[in-house]
Amino acid sequence: MEKLEPYYHTVQYYETDAMAVVHHSNYIRWFEEARLDYLKQAGYPYSTMEENGFMIPVLGVSCEYRKAVHFGETVRVETEIIKFNGLKFTVVYEIYDKECQNLHARGSTEHCFLSKDFKPVSIKKQAPELYQFFWNKTLHNR
């Protein structure tokens, strides 16, 4: 399977706080940016998922902060799916500087699949290709 591109984000001024560094809550938003970019690159843009009637809410999140990021800097987010059992999956993220020399932060999010009326969805039936994609991505982790 082809390797997906990392996600790049350039830090905006409104993302900084009074310590003159990026506010820690924004890293959680960058995880979302990177995750949705990842799914889009894989051929499953989130807007299509919503049209197909399901959502991927966040069940849990964690982030470990190593090195502050400043306004104007560009970060590179590496994204990987590490667990998948057909119902839930876990994504891990590493946030580097542009040149990939410093690790700024790393973290994870856990997700499930829900229908629009907030009920669990079996993507094996409703989105078999997406199921296969997740399965292949996480094959080595079973």
H helix and E strand count, the chain: 4, 7
Q: Does 125 bind a copy of itself (CB under 8 A)?
A: no
Q: Does 63 bind a copy of itself (CB under 8 A)?
A: yes
Taking the least distance from each CB to a copy of itself, the nearer of 23 and 98 is: 23
Taking the least distance from each CB to a copy of itself, the nearer of 60 and 128 is: 60
DSSP 12: P
Q: Does 1 bind a copy of itself (CB under 8 A)?
A: no
Of 13, 101, 119, 125, the one binding a copy of itself by CB under 8 A: 13
CA distance 85 to 68: 35
Q: Does 36 bind a copy of itself (CB under 8 A)?
A: yes
Q: Determine whether 17 is an active site residue.
A: yes
Q: Where are the beta strands (DSSP E) in the chain?
A: 7-10, 54-55, 58-65, 74-84, 88-97, 103-112, 114-115
Strand partners, 93: 79, 107
Taking the least distance from each CB to a copy of itself, the nearer of 46 and 131 is: 46
Name the token pair of 36. Answer: 């949705």
Of 1, 14, 140, 142, the one binding a copy of itself by CB under 8 A: 14
Report in angstroms the alpha-carbon separations of 76 from 46, 82, 99, 103.
21, 19, 8, 10
Of 25, 74, 115, 136, the one binding a copy of itself by CB under 8 A: 25
Token pair 């889009």 is at which residue? 40
Name the token pair of 107. Answer: 């973290």
**Which residues of the chain form contacts with a copy of itself (CB under 8 A)?**
12-14, 16-21, 23-26, 28-29, 32-33, 36, 45-47, 50, 55, 57-65, 68, 70-72, 118
Catalogue the active-site residues.
Answer: 17
